[in-house]
Amino acid sequence: MPDQELLSTEPATGAVLWRHPIGDADTEVAIARASWAAWAARPLAVRIEALRRFANVVRQRADAFTDLLARETGKPLWEARTEVETVIAKVDISVTSYSERTGQRRIEAPMNTRLALRHKPHGVLAVLGPYNFPAHLPNGHIVPALLAGNAVVFKPSEKTPASGAFLVECFHAAGIPEGCIRLLIGGPDQGKALASHPDIDGLLFTGSANTGIALNRQFAARPEKILALEMGGNNPILVWNTPDLYSAAVLVVQSAFTTAGQRCTAARRLIVDEKLFEPLMAELNKLIGRLIIGEPHADPQPFMGPVIDNNTADMLTESFLTLSTMGGRPLRHMERPIENRPFLTPGMVDMTEAREKVDVELFGPILQVFRKTSFEEAIAEANDTRYGLSASLVSQDPRLYDQFWANIRAGIVNWNKPTNGASSAAPFGGVGWSGNHRPSAYYAADYCAYPVVSSESEQARAAMGVGLRDA
């Protein structure tokens, strides 16, 4: 591969899908810097209309976008189609969120004075996107940022650059000024150059905790720049006091193995009542054995496709073996059904008696299982992590859910629902290593503009009643 060109390949086949010259952060930031003020000066109604045109462009190109997402990520067509639908829906959600959270309003003030609350854009915001949802997740930053009047420089993951380029093309086709949404193609070097660029006013990041922590250190001495970190999770799903073990197994499989486990909200740890362990494992093994794992366009449609590339598949396979060497007991071995391609079957390992545990996000179809004899122990196990993104309880007992909700440490807490599938109409974020208390989705408006409070009067009338000598 030429040094100055980035290639994208299809995980399922290895075929080259797309190629593009590597970009330059200085160039893209300079263009955005020169363009954002004019965009910010446009009436909000104009920006809203432009973004609704963007939604219509995506709607018109939905089939092509779906096909590209499926090919570049390896996810099934049904899941890629859902991602495109969330891109479209993001516009109206963001308009509502902007009005509710960062709109203009008057505040009560003394007579002849008005107190106004308005919001201003930051300026030029950098967006670093991930590969698992290369359209939906960066779009969740870009749309509210543009709506607030910012310009955006977007660097997609080097593993899914074609999807990022398609997204930016849709913005441009809708009439969003080209200077206000810029595409930076490249790898880690371009990402670092963009994140450290002196002329950005903030960074909106979705990705791994290690990268997010490094960015947090980098921005520690730059309080004038906004930093929103959306990172991963070592998420627990608890199964306790429930008679419907088939439904419990479905919720566990959906939580742990949708998108081949490549979701930040995926369940990484199953914590189960010792009494339910054997029958639940029987249901899980039957269900997992029925899962179709295949390429995106297969018929019938697969439940899950490959992970993103062979290096990731190799790492996950080694991680499964490492859990075993630490004292974990394999409950279902992870396999590579197609040689030299990154397809993986779901793996499960019982870590209850392991000599040590690892608090890492294994970003793939690996589920660690822990057996507990009391619900208090189960919650303690669930909280035994530096992360705090999502957690779910499967139980028929409302009192257990009340106890779970009150004591679990996570930003998304679900009951008889999967750990994943969060709504864009609600805030999305976590605590600990899962974020820096700047939740995205519905609350993205909060970090895309800053509040300005004005005390205003049409006439200057002032007097001093104390502290003056007699005239």
Q: Which domains does the chain have, with CATH numbers?
A: 5-231+435-456 (3.40.605.10), 235-415 (3.40.309.10)
pLDDT of residue 1: 39
Identify the three-state secondary structure at position 120.
strand
Q: What is the edge-to-edge ordering of all strands in the sheet holding 105-107? A: 105-107, 114-121, 449-456
> Which among 167, 127, 157 has a CA at the least distance from the CA of 144?
127
pLDDT of residue 470: 87
Amino acid at the residue 107: I
Q: CA 248 to CA 238: how far, in whole Å?
A: 10
| Cα four-point dihedral sign 265, 270, 276, 280 | positive
Name the packing angle between helices 77-102 and 136-148 (round to 10°).
Answer: 30
The single residue of 230, 295, 361, 381 carrying the catalytic annotation is 230
> Which among 205, 288, 212, 275 has a CA at the least distance from the CA of 240?
275
> Is position 264 annotated as part of the catalytic site?
yes
- Show the tokens assigned to 323: 């859990």
pLDDT of residue 3: 62
79-85 long-range contacts (CB < 8 A, ≥24 apart) are 79/258, 79/259, 80/296, 83/133, 83/135, 83/136, 84/58, 84/135
Pair 296, 66: CB distance under 8 Å: no
Point out which residues pair with 367 in neighbouring strands.
Answer: 348
Identify the three-state secondary structure at position 310.
helix
Compute φ and ψ for 266, nearest 5 degrees. Answer: -60, 145
What are the residue ranges in the chain where pLDDT is below 70? Answer: 1-3
Those residues whose C-beta lies under 8 Å from the C-beta of residue 271, and which sit 6 or more positions away, are 236, 237, 238, 239, 369, 370, 372, 378, 381, 382
Cβ atoms within 10 Å of 84's Cβ, excluding its own: 22
Q: CA 359 to CA 215: how far, in whole Å?
A: 20
CA distances from 310 to 77, 79, 313, 323 (A): 21, 21, 5, 20
> Is position 335 annotated as part of the catalytic site?
no
CA distances from 445 to 47, 122, 196, 336, 451 (A): 14, 12, 23, 42, 11
Q: CA 147 to CA 49: how far, in whole Å?
A: 10
The single residue of 264, 361, 381, 448 carrying the catalytic annotation is 264
450, with CB counted inside 10 A (0-12, 13-18, 19+), is middle
Q: CA 349 to CA 328: how far, in whole Å?
A: 6
| Cα four-point dihedral sign 191, 192, 196, 202 | positive
Q: CA 217 to CA 87: how far, in whole Å?
A: 31
| Cα four-point dihedral sign 114, 119, 122, 124 | negative
